[in-house]
Amino acid sequence: MTAFDRLTIGARSVTPSRTVAAEDASEIVRRAGYTHPLFAPLVRDAPDAAVIPGELTLLLLGGLAEQTDAFDETTLALVSLDAVEFLSPARIGDRIHLEMEVTDKRLSARGTRGFATFAWTCADDAGRIVLTARATFAFRIAAEPMAP
């Protein structure tokens, strides 16, 4: 049974928490070229409780999502990330986790791909909501039909 087959609308999963590490955040902020003063402590190696970019939070959530049983070798791609709302900043040292709920599931017209949409909620260990988003993934369902 593929990951897509196992998904049911309304199914929820919660990932373990992950600490936002200073070394990881500083390296990514430097390499990505962030220059906004809000992120300067990360670049200056003074990251204590520094705010991280929202895009970095999304990157961390992608890794957390992959640690659930929602995905397997039939998962093809993240095809859309919609309705992203950054509700409060994530900071160095925060422990964040991802709550996912399957909100939609459909087959492609040819039936060889499945698409599942998840409501994502990122929260810290204090229960503060950091962000919400809607993520849609494509899954392989069957082999492509052979050309005549």
Domains and CATH numbers, the chain: 3-140 (3.10.129.10)
Average pLDDT of the residues in 115-132: 95
Q: What does the pLDDT read at residue 147?
A: 46
Predicted local confidence at residue 49, as pLDDT: 61
3-state secondary structure of 19: strand
Q: Are 140 and 72 in contact (CB under 8 A)?
A: no
**In the numeric block, which tokens belong to residue 41?**
């402590």
Asked if residues 141 and 112 have their Cβ atoms less than 8 Å apart, the reply is: yes
Rounded Cα–Cα distance for residues 116 and 104 (Å):
6
- Reduced to 3 states, what is the DSSP secondary structure of residue 24? helix
pLDDT 10s digits, 29-85: 888 887 777 777 766 665 566 788 888 999 999 999 998 888 988 999 999 999 999
pLDDT at 142 over 90: no
Tokens at 108, concatenated: 């492609």
